[in-house]
């Protein structure tokens, strides 16, 4: 009797399935908010697409309240961001703080992603899996999926599109449940707003149209579908237009945006994502198998769908919708994205996200089998550990600190001859690379690979796993293949000089950043490698030390102003006799020359440009001969570089190692007062040679 009474008391205290689901969804919401906000600011200034959204959205909340189109890009996402920008402006104004549109754009995405996850979990319980286990698996996947973590933090349209898709599904399920056409019209309006986020998502117009057809098919009394279908099309068009404010200013907007998208993604690729159908397909399926959601998700998705079809009620329109309409639509969407030239996993984000519904269902079914429980438990534990590691990595400071310390704390840093960057994309510049000279990666690796000089530090942009991502089949692009071959040769030759990188090597295989289609190496974990080639002789070391005695002059204008005892002057010191642009902006003498600055036929890159604080090393500069002729300077044009090859008019130029040309211009006299060369081999002060 006592044992029986105790069991009865415990039974009364146990949670119902509804209560368990509420707890799971509450924990899911809290975890998403905490984990995404904790990692939100990692490499915040790297993603190039976010500015399209937050600049357009924030333009409305400024003083003039005028919407500004940043580029010909769908407007839907920025419209969905608008409430958060208004809220951000209100809060920051009341607190007398700075309004940061990018931050509020990311906050918007996090909130929409959380709401999408909650809707998905609720639908798993009420309409799809109808089991606590399925809801729990769905929550785990949405919390720890690498792709979900990554995309939920960006202030772009991906997390917003997932929220809208979930709203469309919920409205359709309500239609099946209550048989009220209002829900289909609302779903149609949402489809229009979804297409305004990304035009390719118009494929989801099939959802309300197919839902109406299936519902009518299973009715005893059939009705004409012409009128409701026309109304749904009108609601889709209304949603598309209302969420595209640029259309009201330019009725050709849709055509321009479609052509821009076609040109950027379908017709031509870039070195960051050269793609073919075979490579896209292989990468997408392997990514789904290993990284996108639950480990080994691809067979589990198929198993879940097969089990769902086997258990469906053939007279249920809802079950037919779940078993056929959604799978067919996402398969068509998936395959249509395999033909693009510029391919990213985020392009098929809705495919991966909707597959999670079937993965969670399949896992719930597998857990009914005793032999599978251990395997599922091990895979779940692996996913949680890897996802937690990913969140932790994103919550850490930018890799720029590691790069900066690797450079400046190196024992040879003070004796360096130069710091060279290959490319333009580097980890956020909280700790910038000191005094770099920059080359465009495609140009440097076009014909062969560059040589690292003695005493030179080299920092590469994201080339590994970014510009040279893994292809399982031939790329079909000669320029890409040549870049990849030359990069691999560069790595092999300079492996003895490798001294570090922005992020640990295990980052890339652990999180799937090595694969074609991943943007992690572009936006989160840049594969910036650092090399240093030591001096082979003390003579060259001494030469470099003397060189840097000049190179470390913070402002050559002050130095020469004192030297010539004139009030104001401009000094141009350049290692190749080129012209750095800033000193001449106010000189009428060179106005014609400056206007034609970028149009000049003979251009080359600056090597080791120094001496003027505001100069821009690495920009294209006019030919030394043209400069000397323009200034009337009687000095030899010389070079400070060794074995650095640059193509000029398809001819190879080998820079020589000599002295440096300088020019002093007196503003008051409106003339050149001196010119000559600087002997950087002198061991005390710079020696002027005339």
What's the mean pLDDT when you consider all of the chain?
A: 78
In the prediction, which pLDDT does 269 show? 53
134-138 CB contacts, 8 Å cutoff, 24+ apart: 134/360, 134/361, 134/363, 134/364, 135/21, 135/24, 135/25, 135/360, 136/24, 137/294, 137/359, 137/360, 137/363, 137/364, 137/380, 138/356, 138/357, 138/360
Tokens of 464: 């590994």
Distance linking the first and last C-alpha atoms of the chain: 112
- Three-state secondary-structure class, residue 66: coil
- pLDDT at residue 52 is higher than 80: no
pLDDT band at 657 (very low <50, low <70, confident <90, very high): very low
Give 206-220 pLDDT, tens digit per residue.
999 999 999 998 777
Residue 67 predicted with pLDDT over 80: no
- 401/408 Cα distance (integer angstroms): 10
- The pLDDT, as a whole number, for residue 258 is 73
Helices and strands in the chain, H and E counts: 28, 13
Q: What is the pLDDT of residues 433-481, one digit of tens each?
A: 887 777 778 777 877 888 888 888 999 999 998 888 888 888 878 888 8
CA angle 345, 348, 349 (to 5 degrees): 85
Query: pLDDT confidence of 397, banded at 50, 70, 90?
Result: confident
Separation CA 120–CA 361 (nearest Å): 12
**570: enclosing H helix or E strand:** strand 569-574
Confidence of residue 131 (pLDDT cuts 50, 70, 90): very high
Q: Across residues 600-606, what is the average pLDDT?
A: 25
63/319: higher pLDDT: 319
Q: For a pLDDT cut of 90, what percent of the chain falls above it?
A: 46
Residues 495 and 36: their CA atoms lie apart, in Å, by 37
The secondary structure element, H or E, covering residue 595 is: helix 591-595
Confidence of residue 61 (pLDDT cuts 50, 70, 90): confident
C-alpha distances (whole Å) from 511 to each of 106, 322, 507 are 21, 31, 6
Residue 580: per-residue pLDDT: 33
- pLDDT tier at 410 (50, 70, 90 boundaries)? very high
How much is the pLDDT for 687?
45
Residue pointed to by tokens 């010909």? 72
User: Averaged over 647-660, what is the pLDDT?
Assistant: 34
Report the distance separating Cα 403 and Cα 575, nearest Å.
Answer: 26
Residues 6+ apart with CB under 8 A from 40: 103, 106, 107, 110, 153
Which pair of tokens denotes residue 474?
Answer: 């031939």
Q: 147 pLDDT band (50/70/90 cuts)?
A: very high
The 3-state DSSP class for residue 38 equals helix
Give the separation between CA 321 and CA 215, rounded to whole angstroms.
10
Examine the pLDDT at 670 and tell me if it is beyond 80.
no
Question: So what's the pLDDT on residue 644?
Answer: 30
* Residue of 275 and 148 predicted with greater confidence: 148
Q: Would the pLDDT of 422 be above 90?
A: no
Arithmetic mean of pLDDT, 48-72: 71
From 75, 161, 277, select the one nearest 269 (Cα to Cα): 277
Partners of 342 in the β-ladder: 274
H/E/C letters for each residue in 257-314?
HHHHHHHHHHHCCCCCCECCHHHHHHHHHHHHHHCCCCCCHHHHHHHHHHHHHHHCCC
Mean pLDDT score, 313-329 = 94
Residue 292 has pLDDT above 70, yes or no: yes
pLDDT at residue 106 is higher than 50: yes
Would you state the pLDDT for residue 638?
A: 34
Per-residue pLDDT reduced to its tens digit, 347-395: 999 999 999 999 999 999 999 888 899 999 999 999 999 999 999 999 9
- Give the integer Cα–Cα distance in Å for 260 and 275: 18
Q: Across residues 269-275, what is the average pLDDT?
A: 58
Residue 2's pLDDT band, with cuts at 50, 70 and 90, is low
Q: From residue 428, how far is each of 424, 433, 490, 526 by CA, in Å?
A: 11, 10, 25, 10
Distance separating alpha carbons of residues 502 and 251, to the nearest angstrom: 46
pLDDT at 94 over 50: yes
pLDDT average, residue stretch 59-85:
77
pLDDT of residue 478: 82
**In this structure, are residues 287 and 345 in contact, taking their beta carbons and an 8 Å threshold?**
yes
Name residue, tokens 């010539």. 564
Q: How confident is the model at residue 655 (pLDDT cuts 50, 70, 90)?
A: very low
Residues contacting 66, CB < 8 A, separation 6+: 59, 60
- 63-77, 99-113, 255-269, range with greatest mean pLDDT: 99-113
Q: Which residues of 591-616 are buried (b: 16+ CB within 10 A; e: fewer)?
A: eebbeebeeeeebbbbbbbbbbeebe
- With CA atoms as reference, report the closest residue to 128 among 176, 72, 71, 80: 176
* pLDDT beyond 50 at 653: no
Handedness of CA 278, 283, 289, 294 (dihedral sign): negative
Q: What is the pLDDT of residues 150-205, one digit of tens each?
A: 999 998 999 999 999 999 999 999 999 999 999 999 999 999 999 999 988 999 99
In this prediction, residues 305-325 reach a mean pLDDT of 94
Asked if the model's pLDDT at residue 40 lies above 80, the reply is yes
pLDDT tens per residue across span 608-641? 332 222 222 333 333 334 333 444 434 333 333 3
Quote the pLDDT of residue 170: 97
pLDDT of residue 133: 95
């Amino acid at each position: 009797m006592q044992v029986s009474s105790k069991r009865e008391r415990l039974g009364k205290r146990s949670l119902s399935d509804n209560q368990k689901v509420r707890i799971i969804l509450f924990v899911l919401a809290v975890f998403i908010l905490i984990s995404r906000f904790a990692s939100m600011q990692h490499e915040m200034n790297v993603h190039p697409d976010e500015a399209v959204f937050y600049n357009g959205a924030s333009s409305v909340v400024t003083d003039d309240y005028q919407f500004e189109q940043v580029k010909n890009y769908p407007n839907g996402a920025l419209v969905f961001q608008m409430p958060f920008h208004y809220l951000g402006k209100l809060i920051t104004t009341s607190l007398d703080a700075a309004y940061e549109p990018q931050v509020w754009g990311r906050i918007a995405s996090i909130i929409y992603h959380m709401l999408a996850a909650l809707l998905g979990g609720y639908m798993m319980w009420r309409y799809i899996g109808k089991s606590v286990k399925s809801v729990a698996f769905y929550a785990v996947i949405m919390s720890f999926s690498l792709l979900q973590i990554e995309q939920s933090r960006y202030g772009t349209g991906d997390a917003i599109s997932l929220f809208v898709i979930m709203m469309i599904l919920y409205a359709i399920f309500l239609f099946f449940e209550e048989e009220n056409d209002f829900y289909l019209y609302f779903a149609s309006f949402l489809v229009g707003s979804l297409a305004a986020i990304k035009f390719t998502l118009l494929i989801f117009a099939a959802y309300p149209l197919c839902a109406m057809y299936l519902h009518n098919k299973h009715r005893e009394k059939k009705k004409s579908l012409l009128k409701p279908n026309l109304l749904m099309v009108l609601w889709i068009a209304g949603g598309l237009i209302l969420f595209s404010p640029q259309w009201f200013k330019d009725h050709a907007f849709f055509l321009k945006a479609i052509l821009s998208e076609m040109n950027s993604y379908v017709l031509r690729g870039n070195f960051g994502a050269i793609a073919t159908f075979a490579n896209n397909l292989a990468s997408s399926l392997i990514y789904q198998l290993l990284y996108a959601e639950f480990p080994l998700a691809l067979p589990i998705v198929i198993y879940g769908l097969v089990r769902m079809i086997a258990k469906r009620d053939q007279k249920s329109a809802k079950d037919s919708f779940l078993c056929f309409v959604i799978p067919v639509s996402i398969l068509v969407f998936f395959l249509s994205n395999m033909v693009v030239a510029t391919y990213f996993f985020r392009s098929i984000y809705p495919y991966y996200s909707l597959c999670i519904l079937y993965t969670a269902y399949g896992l719930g079914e597998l857990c009914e089998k005793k032999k599978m429980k251990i395997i599922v438990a091990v895979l779940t534990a692996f996913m949680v550990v890897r996802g937690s590691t990913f969140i932790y990595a994103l919550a850490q400071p930018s890799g720029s600190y590691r790069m900066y310390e690797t450079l400046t704390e190196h024992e040879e840093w003070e004796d360096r001859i130069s710091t060279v960057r290959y490319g333009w994309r580097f980890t956020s510049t909280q700790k910038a690379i000191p005094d770099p000279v920059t080359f465009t990666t495609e140009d440097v690796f076009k014909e062969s690979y560059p040589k690292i000089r003695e005493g030179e530090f080299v920092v590469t942009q994201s080339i590994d796993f970014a510009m040279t991502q893994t292809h399982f089949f031939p790329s079909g692009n000669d320029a890409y293949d040549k870049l990849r071959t030359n990069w691999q040769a560069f790595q092999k030759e300079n492996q003895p000089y490798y001294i570090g990188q922005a992020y640990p090597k295990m980052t890339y295989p652990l999180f799937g950043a090595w694969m074609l289609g991943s943007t992690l190496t572009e936006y989160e974990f840049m594969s910036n490698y650092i090399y240093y080639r030591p001096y082979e002789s003390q003579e060259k070391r001494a030469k470099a030390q003397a060189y840097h005695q000049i190179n470390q002059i913070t402002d050559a204008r002050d130095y020469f102003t004192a030297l010539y005892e004139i009030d104001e002057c401009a000094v141009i010191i350049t290692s190749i006799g080129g012209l750095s642009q800033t000193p001449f902006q106010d000189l009428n003498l060179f106005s014609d020359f400056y206007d034609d600055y970028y149009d000049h036929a003979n251009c080359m890159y600056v090597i080791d440009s120094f001496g003027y604080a505001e100069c821009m090393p690495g920009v294209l500069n006019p030919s030394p001969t043209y400069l000397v002729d323009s200034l009337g300077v009687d000095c030899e044009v010389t070079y400070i570089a060794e074995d650095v090859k640059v193509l000029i008019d398809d001819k190879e130029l080998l820079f020589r190692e000599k002295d440096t040309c300088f020019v002093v211009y007196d503003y008051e006299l409106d003339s050149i007062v001196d010119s000559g060369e600087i002997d950087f081999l002198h061991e005390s002060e710079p020696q002027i040679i005339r």
